[in-house]
Structure 1
């Protein structure tokens, strides 16, 4: 028992901190009031309630069910947060390879980063901590566990599949899971490797997307939200919707302190690896990008400062939704142009500093999946008001990318130290 606790001490401490942070939020505010009333209305038959919601409001069947359950049972909610956080941390440590003995002294990096990437009282408090965490934090943790299918250990395959299925009920994570598994299957086909192991995961991720698309509840909800939130939505073309989503994503990445923090941490990890690899041009590029984003927070002008001025001047819809006018004037092109150039520079830098195609595939799968999961909101009338909780899938990908680059940097450092020892002995 003592050995078990010692081996999992980081996960235990992290889980305890997440519970403490959750207790610091008001669990009785937000959507919990509505869910508590719904639970009483349905005589605490939570699955019956979820089936009703599937027909009238949301495709998130089991997620709706546990949201109602934990809105009534607070103690069980805290126990669940401890358990799911423990599962998340142990899964991330295994998924990123930090369970290897040579990284044992560096494992502390992961929970420290996780606390910065996933602050409970800010990231998961949009619709009330219980509703937001059951809709975003729980699927994220279960997806992390489900992705352990990529490890050679095939134990608990069915349990991982069930965890993955639950996560796929959240449409953003369904798209992210689909992209990850699809690229994996494509890669294995090209390498003439078996894909049988991954086919069920691919099927259920597709079903998650289809469920969100075909759910009668989602259709009803969309009609209502268009009327209440974004009356101009149906008159906006598909490409304008994508640009509105891109504007919203870019704005938060650059000017929302919490989202910017995750973005900067990811870029810093890339910069560190560039320096370790002695890639001068890439290091200068990443340093310049980080400076352009950070300096406006210190009231120092950069091209990013102009982007904010232009975005803030964009016209608003009936309910203060930002509308896209990109391309209508020369000035309106500037923000998108700056963002595209900056993202292109990041992509080129990443591509040129990674030595193996395996590393490139992993990083770019996460980049594509994270971006797509956020851009999915472009097709929703809540695109401008959905809050930073909709960044959770993207932040999750950024978290994995950051850890991956830190691990690559550690590999360089460990190899260099070993080479130095050999030279000293000789």
Structure 2
């Protein structure tokens, strides 16, 4: 029997879910899609002019000459021809991305509160990245893929905990995986996540190995499809002279370093707003639970490094030669780091320190041992997923959109930390249902105003 408080809590969450969906419908159906960027030049025009609208012929040619994202681009091609299809799909994708994290921690964090945090943290992402190459192509390649990834994660977690998964949910997750793993970054993330779930299941002796096998087959199959695509080699030959003429001269080590330094620099050295909000949220949690100084110190150090090498970098660089020297170490090859020269290690050391402080801060603020390991694992996957761009000559040309999955993993990890500390947070939040509702509406309106300036509505 549910208590009155539980019923109120559940109804509040459902009301907020409905408000969120209504808001997303309004937003996505307000956008004026005029076919610009890649939406038009790479998809709609070639499809109609060169292939007379034949999607199969278009995709076969793309696989041979450009890309292995056959499943994803099938939906891009449908979307550039039928805007209503895209509007519905993008509404569902954004709804899943915001709602799923809150739904998955609802046993510890009330759904209404989880939604407030989820939508607020999502709002901190640099949302302008979704307009970089065209609204449709960018959103289908990243937002839709991310949403599909969430549909894969839920049943995997159920299997890892030895729970039964409804057959329709299981089959839907496999179909979602076919779509999601057609993206190189998401394929790597989901492969690592599936392996982690299987390991946890084996360790807890809740073994259901056979149900994990289809996930590995689909994931590895899509990775092979990508690796063996003739179009990738053709594309590489075209993009190297255009975007990164020296790319083929880079060693394996230099490509790894390039991916690592560019990723961590964006998170901690470029004044990233999302990182700041995540750090501040974690500090509030640490203060709320009255964590020991040695547990809090990592978060305060992380905040200090974000400030010094972020918004204050130019001011401090003009007064402190050491900081100016570190900042000058960054270049198009990552940094000037050389294993044989200790003097070139400085930028790499500070980058690693900033990342390590953040990871330690997240781990220290958590209560559960398994959640600590999970958080660290997810954050490392997040970094590795973006590091893979070091093997692409378009690492700089691809823009901010390549951080989408990294940002979402960071957001999810912080939401896990909030859920793990629910007993410290709910003391005050339970008393202010109306405030939460007002905050949610305010946040949604804020998102709309921000996006209205970024996209043509």
Query: The TM-score by the shorter chain falls in which range?
Result: 0.7 to 0.9
1:225 aligns with 2:232: no
**Which residue of structure 2 lines up, in the alignment, with residue 384 of structure 1?**
396
In the TM superposition, residue 312 of structure 1 has moved relative to its aligned partner by 5.6
Alignment deviations for residues 152-184 of structure 1 (CA, whole Å, 9 cap, x no partner): 462221011111221000100000001111111
Decide whether aligned partners of structure 1 residues 393 and 157 sit closer, same or farther in structure 2, where only a CA change above 3 A counts: same
**Which TM-score applies when normalising by structure 1?**
0.85
Give 1:229 deviation, angstroms: 1.5
Secondary structure of the equivalent of 1:108?
helix
Q: How does 1:328-407 map to 2 (within 5 A)?
A: 330-407=342-419
Determine the structure 2 residue equivalent to 1:37. 45
CA change 1:409–1:356 in 2 (3 A) is: closer
- Distance, in Å, in 1 between the alignment partners of 2:211 and 2:322 is 46
Q: Where in structure 1 are there 5+ consecutive unaligned residues?
A: 419-426
Q: Cα deviation per residue 1:373-399 (whole Å; 9 max; x = unaligned)?
A: 100101111122221100011011011
* CA–CA distance in structure 2, aligned partners of residues 370 and 389 of structure 1: 14
Greater shift in the superposed pair: 378-387 or 83-92? 83-92
What SS does the corresponding residue of 1:196 show, helix, strand or coil? helix
- Equivalent position to 2:263, from 221, 225, 249: 249
1:326 aligned partner: 337
2:185 is aligned to 172
What is the alpha-carbon distance in structure 1 between the residues aligned to residue 109 and residue 333 of structure 2?
49
- After TM superposition, give the deviation of residue 75 of structure 1 in Å: 2.4
Alpha carbons 1:94, 1:148 under 8 Å: kept:
no
CA 1:15–1:119 in 2, change beyond 3 Å: closer, same or farther?
Answer: farther
2:19 corresponds, among 5, 13, 27, to 13
- Tell me if the contact between 2:102 and 2:115 (Cα under 8 Å) persists in the aligned partners: no
Q: For residues 91-134 of structure 1, what are the alpha-carbon distances to aligned partners after superposition, in whole Å with 9 as ceiling and x for unaligned?
A: 32322x22x386144133244325414454x1211111111001
Distance (Å, rounded) in 2 between the aligned partners of 1:364 and 1:157? 27
State the alpha-carbon separation in 2 of the partners of residues 114 and 282 from structure 1: 23
- CA distance in 2: counterparts of 1:344 and 1:111, whole angstroms: 24
2:165 match: 154
Q: Name the CA shift for 1:302/1:310 in 2 (closer, same or farther; >3 Å).
A: closer
Deviations along 1:51-101, one digit per CA (max 9) or x if unpaired, are 321221111111111112211222221122112223333432322x22x38
Match of 1:286 in 2: 299
> Which digits, 9 at most, give the CA deviation of each residue in 1:161-219, with x for residues without a partner?
11122100010000000111111112222232212232211222222222221111112
- Change beyond 3 A, Cα 1:359–1:110: same
Distance 2:316 2:414 in 1: 27
**CA offsets, 1:22-72, max 9 Å, x none?**
555765221011211122132223243223212211111111111122112
Which residue in 2 is equivalent to 1:423? Answer: none
Matched, 1:190 2:203: yes
Counterpart CA distance in 2 for 1:178 and 1:384 is 26
* Bigger Cα displacement from structure 2, 203-212 vs 12-21: 12-21
RMSD, aligned CA: 3.0
> Partners of 1:60 and 1:9 in 2: how far apart?
37
Q: How many matched pairs?
A: 405
| 8 Å Cα contact 2:65/2:235 also seen in 1 | yes
Distance 2:98 2:358 in 1: 28
Aligned partner of 1:313 in structure 2 is: 328
8 A contact 1:279–1:353 mirrored in 2: no
What is the TM-score with the length of structure 2 in the denominator?
A: 0.79
Q: Give secondary structure in 1 for the equivalent of 2:356.
A: helix
**Cα distance change of structure 1 residues 73 and 347 upon mapping to structure 2, 3 Å threshold:** same
Contact 2:99 2:118 in 1 (8 A): no
Give the direction of change, closer, same or farther, for the CA distance of 1:292–1:345 in structure 2 (3 Å limit).
Answer: closer
- Say which of 283, 286, 291 aligns to 1:274: 286
Provide structure 2 residue ranges, at least 5 long, that are not aligned to the other structure: 1-9, 431-457
Query: CA–CA distance in 2 between the matches of 1:161 and 1:106?
Result: 30
Name the counterpart of 2:123.
Answer: 116
What pairs with 1:39-54 in structure 2 (closer than 5 Å)?
Answer: 39-40=47-48, 41-54=50-63
Could you list the per-position Cα deviations for residues 343-373 of structure 1 after superposition, in whole angstroms to 9, with x for gaps in the alignment?
Answer: 2233334444434332023212211211111
Aligned to 2:251: 237
C-alpha contact 2:146 2:405 (8 A) present in aligned 1? yes
Give 3-state SS (helix, strand or coil) of 1:107's partner. helix
Q: 1:28 is matched with which residue: 23, 31, 35?
A: 35
Q: For the Cα contact (< 8 Å) 2:366–2:420, is it kept in 1?
A: no
